[in-house]
Amino acid sequence: MAPSSATPVSSPGTASPAAQAMVVLVMEENHSYEQVIGNASAPYLNSLAQQGASATQYYATMHPSISNYFVLTTGAPQTNDNGFLGPVTADNLARELVAAGKTWKVYAEDLPSAGYLGGSSGNYVKHHNPFAYFSDVINNPQQAANIVPFSQFGSDLSAGQLPSFSMVVPDLPDDAHSCKAAMTCDDNSVLADADGWLKTNIAPLLANSEFQKNGLLLIAFDESNIADIRNGGGHVPFIAVGPRTRAGVQSSVMYRHENTLKTLCTVLGIATCPGAAATASAEDDMFIH
């Protein structure tokens, strides 16, 4: 890994063992680093970038969305067809979490029901939910039951029942992909709506006493806008917040989605990391592990 030019921080502290870690990955959509960072229409997201650690040279894999979600969870694109039906039999995060004795859930907004493995429905988009393609999940009803509507996130958080790994998948208006029918459809409005959703739904996570012990919140954009093809999928924001984060760091190391998958494996104590993540570097200048 190239040397980091991250802003130095003093006494970052010692995190609890990886076995106790709680990681929450929130996915956002289709915006470049320059569109988001410093934009007054996204004040909450930018406050998190200042509060935690951020990557200033993070690049998505390619366009369109689906390949990026698979790199984040399998270490390989698998397909670049958003209409891909699956299944994916390759090694994947669900398989390795279970093998390591860890728990997981996908909290997907507008998901029709718990365990739903069908196609897109309303503002729920299947190709934003890679776990719904994995053979390990499709062929095991107990694993499929870990895909739940986002409405369960707040109750699990309050009850102290969040799993080791949570993937939060907002619906199309709330992930900055597209506007709500009733709102003015300019880009700043789209970002403002997604930013408000984050503040309403993610601020309680950061205030939660269990999360504050050993939590890590990651906010990743799957890809940049379609015109941005820098390094494949464009230059995107990547932000991390929580006690496992080196607060104040702005890393200029070039990172991609496979580096984030490697970080998930490292923080959660997963010995075998899927695909290209097996040999990728973790985002060590941003995290404590």
What does pLDDT average to in each consecutive run of 10 residues of the chain (289 residues)? Answer: 34 45 96 97 97 98 98 98 98 98 98 98 97 98 98 97 98 86 76 95 97 96 96 98 96 98 97 98 92
Give pLDDT tens digits for 241-252.
Answer: 999 999 999 999
What are the backbone dihedrals phi and psi of residue 121, each rounded to the nearest 5 degrees, phi first?
A: -145, 115
Superfamily of domain 18-278: Alkaline Phosphatase, subunit A (3.40.720.10)
pLDDT of residue 179: 75
CB-side neighbour CA atoms (13 Å) of 78:
29
Strands 58-59 and 235-236: antiparallel
pLDDT of residue 100: 97
pLDDT of residue 20: 77
Sheet holding 238-241, edge to edge: 147-149, 104-108, 165-169, 22-28, 215-221, 238-241, 53-55, 250-251
